[in-house]
């Protein structure tokens, strides 16, 4: 699970068995293979202006309809784009169904709770009707993430397009590349650096937790067994911890929890106020206070009168940067006819 992505667990118990080993696998892989760096050559704004001029309008209309029915879809679409880009780059491998049973990225435990695939399929179908074989699923993911933020009151940015779709999707690569919501600051910084992202990008993109929800299961250890001694994370505000324990029972039972308490349906900078007050739900949220760069960003966004505007600008810039990771352009990859299948 990405630390900065909305978490909504459906097959929760399967996640816990892999969390500890993922980081150590990542260390080995980074040592032998090179990181999936930000590049983005070949991307530009307005890529489809001539080949499919209505593409972005069609996408926005379809996504608006989905979010009007269920506002939580916005967080799901944002999370899909993150989880795609951190594995193989932004080439829509997260959307592919497995060629063999249980072997695609969507089958990996950090991705069990991903949703919004149906919305992406609806966008793809609508665009295919207008411009068959032109717009990639990878670009649709980027547009959907941008529009999800826009439609929940966040900033707008001119998303770059021109990506092509990959043909490979492996569950083990999701396990190896997606950071956990339980990562500490050192693990988070290394994971982001391996993708060519800075500590500021880490702080900014963590702000995606301004919308969405998580489960009691995800924070169970933080409340009841933080160091294996039936203790509570001392970095969590004691009063807030007591409130959470009234909702979340030992073992992980309890209701869905807002990641940004009281503001989980609006894309704004309120998340940072909660983090500064030691009321961020996730270990990875609290970890932002343990580095001088990320802590300074939290402090700035939680106290500045212009916090909302500066966060919106920063978020758009970091999203564009993330959207350039490992892209396929030109003659690489393909333009899938259906997002869940290679042509």
Positions marked catalytic: 83
Supply the DSSP symbol for 96: P
Ramachandran sector of residue 40 (left: φ over 0; alpha: ψ -120 to 50; beta: rest): left
**Is 93 marked as binding a ligand?**
yes
CA-CA distance, 95 to 107, in Å (whole number)? 11
**Is 89 marked as binding a ligand?**
yes
- Integer-rounded Cα Rg, in Å, for the chain is 19
| Strand pairing class (256-258; 213-215) | antiparallel
Among 316, 241, 254, which Cα is nearest to 286's?
Answer: 241
**Is 54 marked as binding a ligand?**
no
**Is 87 marked as binding a ligand?**
yes
Show the beta-strand stretches assigned E in the chain.
Answer: 213-215, 256-258
What SS3 class is residue 51? coil
What SS3 class is residue 62? helix
| Cα 140–chain centre separation | 15
**Which residues, other chains included, contact 313 with Cβ-Cβ below 8 Å and sequence gap of 6+?**
155
Structure tokens at 185: 């600051």
**Is 84 marked as binding a ligand?**
yes
CA-CA distance, 154 to 147, in Å (whole number)? 9
| Matching residue, tokens 């926005």 | 60
CA-CA distance, 167 to 210, in Å (whole number)? 33
CA-CA distance, 148 to 78, in Å (whole number)? 7
CA-CA distance, 287 to 203, in Å (whole number)? 10
**Is 268 marked as binding a ligand?**
yes
**Is 179 marked as binding a ligand?**
yes
Could you tell me which residues are annotated as the binding site for Ca(2+)? 84, 87, 89, 93, 105, 210, 260, 268
């Amino acid at each position: 699970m990405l630390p900065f992505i909305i978490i909504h667990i459906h097959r929760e118990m399967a996640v816990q068995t892999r969390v500890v080993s993922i980081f150590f696998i990542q260390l080995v892989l980074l040592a032998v293979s090179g990181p999936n760096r930000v590049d983005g050559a070949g991307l530009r704004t307005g890529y489809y202006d001539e080949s499919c001029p209505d593409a972005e309008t069609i996408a926005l209309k379809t996504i608006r309809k989905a979010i009007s029915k269920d506002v939580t879809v916005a967080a799901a679409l944002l999370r899909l784009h993150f989880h795609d880009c951190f594995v193989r780059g932004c080439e829509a491998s997260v959307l592919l169904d497995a060629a063999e049973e249980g072997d695609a990225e969507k089958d990996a435990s950090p991705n069990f709770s991903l949703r919004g695939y149906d919305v992406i399929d609806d966008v793809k179908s609508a665009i295919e009707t207008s411009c068959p074989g032109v717009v990639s699923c990878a670009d649709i993911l980027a547009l959907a993430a941008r529009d999800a933020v826009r439609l929940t009151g966040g900033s707008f940015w001119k998303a770059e397009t021109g990506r092509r779709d990959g043909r490979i999707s492996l569950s083990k690569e999701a396990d190896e590349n997606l950071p956990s919501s339980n990562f500490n600051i050192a693990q988070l910084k290394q994971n982001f650096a391996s993708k060519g992202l800075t500590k500021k990008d880490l702080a900014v993109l963590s702000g995606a937790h301004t919308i969405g929800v998580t489960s009691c299961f995800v924070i169970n250890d933080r409340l009841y067994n933080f160091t294996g001694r039936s203790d509570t994370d001392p970095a969590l505000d004691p009063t807030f911890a007591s409130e959470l324990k009234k909702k979340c029972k030992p073992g992980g039972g309890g209701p869905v929890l807002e990641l940004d308490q009281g503001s989980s349906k609006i894309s704004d900078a309120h998340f940072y106020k909660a983090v500064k007050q030691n009321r961020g739900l996730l270990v990875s949220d609290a970890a932002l206070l343990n580095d001088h760069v990320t802590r300074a960003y939290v402090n700035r966004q939680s106290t500045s009168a212009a916090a909302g505007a500066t966060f919106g600008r920063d978020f758009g810039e970091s999203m564009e940067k993330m959207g350039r990771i490992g892209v396929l352009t030109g003659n690489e990859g393909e333009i899938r006819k259906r997002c869940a299948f290679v042509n």
